[in-house]
Structure 1
């Protein structure tokens, strides 16, 4: 399929300042996710709490982001994206201060939940505002740039967090957000002004509450139990499905729905959401299963494991901007396929790698997978957002981020279970290197199946008669 590319327009100084603001908000939200993990052992000692209790410092943030990201995206469409972005950055910054000043674990968990709401605003509106900031022929480059800053935040979090804890204590992990948040808030003056409207916006509160409840139940069902789910997990999953059905029915009859049914009927947008979920689950597989393989099969030290695991985010950071430029030059469809094929090749390599081949044999397919994921994200985000109407970009961006979060949550739970079953690991018992290798191969092979499904979805979409990409670019349904 041929995609016509118009000549690239120059980026104005105002657009450059706006992109700097958006990149900083993306960096803050990703840093907020990754930097807190390294502080968990320190928090156990600081608050004399169990590791299970301290895990809520991470879980509260994740739950907040997951449950409200679609709703805040819709609020941005209704109330003005710049106005809400300023509010989100302010909320994130103030909550970061509250985290650093917390004297009890429950205070820290509550502040992290509020911080997650601010992060959800930033994540949902950042991609939505790309279309308001740069021309269509540069949207791929902008998406790739934002993907790079997100990867930098993810890669920087553990190492920066460790340095801050060693130098100033665990509070510094959260207080580092204060100067960055103030700078991001100041840069919001470069964002495009909100369009004034004389109509009174209507917000679907019932739909927002239903969706938040469904997502909270699903997230808890996937994360509760530390990889050993029980009856409560199953019950939460049933509740999540039931609430999801009620939500979809409510959207069909709502006067001003949170998610317009027409949006989900667009083949390109619906497929983009689903593929984002699948590929995110694959990316999470390398983060969840990789450490077990590196320690149990290759017998690496924790420091060496951390060094190998850092290769993924670093590669994603390096690939993001070139991938975005490739989307602008060659079209999102070709780059989408290139990213998926790279991920498939990487997963195949990880599913076949032998411990006898050493660390390089693991790093090479890992790099292929993460590079492919970066390319896929730049292409998929560009394709989905270019197919969204201007008045719906906030909610579509929220849904796109939600699909990624759901993929990460599901991948962490399901792939850990696949590894545990295939390796025979039960609790803290040590398993042999051969069992670890078998478990890792099973998990990576399962992740490879997800990539095959994504490729089949692309093939089916482009088999449809007519100019599928042109429909996507015009934002029309299929």
Structure 2
């Protein structure tokens, strides 16, 4: 990037886009599909999985395309597409129609995020890359903090579940305008060899996967675990604790905003600790937090809020180091490497979401005298998979000397 203003345009645009994606996928869609359309949880997660599937399929091609044509075009077009799909959702009636619209949203996300992360990777020296990635992590946490609250408030204040879709259309329109007006160049020169190599093919994707098979396996397992619960968190809070949409969102604001403020220090910490150590610590801590919530007995709501904050801390530490680790595998093909990892993560999320929806609706457990209702089962499975991922990180990741600025 050629200027500070372009950098901040990227960060602010990503903030509005992430807020839109969280509001749409985590807040608006599950409630709308269940309360208005009348679909069951298994069907709801199947519709949500179409978003993940399309994003997974197109992340690597879009990452390669950003290597070839530069980042700006994709960063501008992506949110514009979701403005249209947000409004079109209100006209849909059949699950297939919802699935098609979520597929287009997945394409939008696939266009946006590899280009955005690659743009950060292009612009920052390796020794500060975790810190730089933390800016996008900060926007991610801001989206998690405000998305459920914004969507819940829109619905509760208007008394209509459709209101949050108008909100998401506005958020993506703002993201589009910021990218178009304030992000004039991504700093990639026309003669850059990586641009000439930035074409996509199945062979290119396979080469990217073979460049770091252990990393791709770890990406799959982590996001399989996340996928088990990511589309069910709001429904779980409403079913288990009887909270309103607004209260659910309000419960996330303080911990998530606090973690957003910690994103940059945690990024610096990841640089100091080293990539492998940060990822191992983050995944191990996340597993412990999940087990504390997913225990067979119903945890107090106050502890669930605290656990959400602790989980967010582990996510920020892990993800900043993870994206920095991926960005250094092959700098000349950074876009397609990040895209391939995103594809692997997406496949894991899809399979996890499909299984999680089935478990939530159909699979209670009995462990001796202890009965576990079906809506808790996906959270137990998530804790188990993240524990496996933490163990896998010790086998896959090769420690490198910690960097200093």
TM-score by length of 1: 0.67
Q: 1:4 is matched with which residue?
A: none
Are residues 1:143 and 2:130 paired? no
Report the structure number with the largest CA radius of gyration: 1
Q: Does structure 2 conserve the Cα–Cα contact (< 8 Å) formed by 1:353 and 1:361?
A: no
- Correspondence for 1:336 among 263, 268, 279: 279
**Which of 185, 200, 214 pairs up with 1:271?**
214
- The corresponding residue for 1:81 is 70
SS at match of 2:55: helix
Which residue of the partner structure matches residue 400 of structure 2? 469
Are the structure 2 counterparts of residues 101 and 202 from structure 1 closer, same or farther at C-alpha, using a change threshold of 3 Å? closer
Residue matched to 1:216: none
Q: Distance in 2 between matches of 1:445 and 1:380?
A: 24
Match of 2:290 in 1: 347
Q: Could you say if the C-alpha distance between residues 377 and 101 of structure 1 is closer, same or farther in structure 2, counting changes exceeding 3 Å?
A: closer
- Call closer, same or farther: CA 1:370–1:99 in 2, change over 3 Å: closer
1:107-157 deviation line (CA, Å, top 9, x unaligned): 887666445433311111111122211111210111111111122223322
Determine if contact 2:148/2:248 at 8 Å carries over to the other structure: no
Residue 405 (structure 1) aligned with residue 393 (structure 2): no
What secondary structure is seen at the aligned counterpart in 1 of 2:184? helix
CA deviation after TM superposition for structure 1 residue 181, in Å: 1.0
2:384 to 429, 435, 449: 449
Cα distance in structure 1, aligned partners of 2:30 and 2:381: 32
2:188 aligned with 1:189, yes or no?
A: no
Give the aligned partner of residue 223 of structure 1: none
Query: Residue 183 of structure 2: SS of its match in structure 1?
Result: helix
* Structure 2: segments with no counterpart, 5+ residues: none
- 1:130–1:142 contact (8 Å) kept in structure 2: yes
Report Cα offsets for 1:316-343 as digits up to 9, x if no partner: 5344222211122222122112211211
> How far apart in 2 are the matches of 1:284 and 1:377?
16
**CA deviation profile, 1:414-465 (whole Å, cap 9, x unmatched):** 344445565269xxxxxxxx7446863x544433332332233232246x7x
Shift of 1:182: 1.1
Secondary structure of residue in 1 paired with 2:191: coil
> Which ranges in structure 1 are unaligned for 5 or more consecutive residues?
1-11, 208-256, 426-433, 474-478
How many residues align? The count is 387
Per-residue deviation, 1:311: 6.5
- TM-score relative to the length of structure 2: 0.78
1:386 paired to 2:328: yes
> In structure 2, what is the Cα distance between the partners aligned to 1:424 and 1:188?
52
The separation in 2 between residues aligned to 1:461 and 1:190, in whole angstroms, is 37
Q: Which has the higher contact order (CA 8 A, sep 6+)?
A: 2
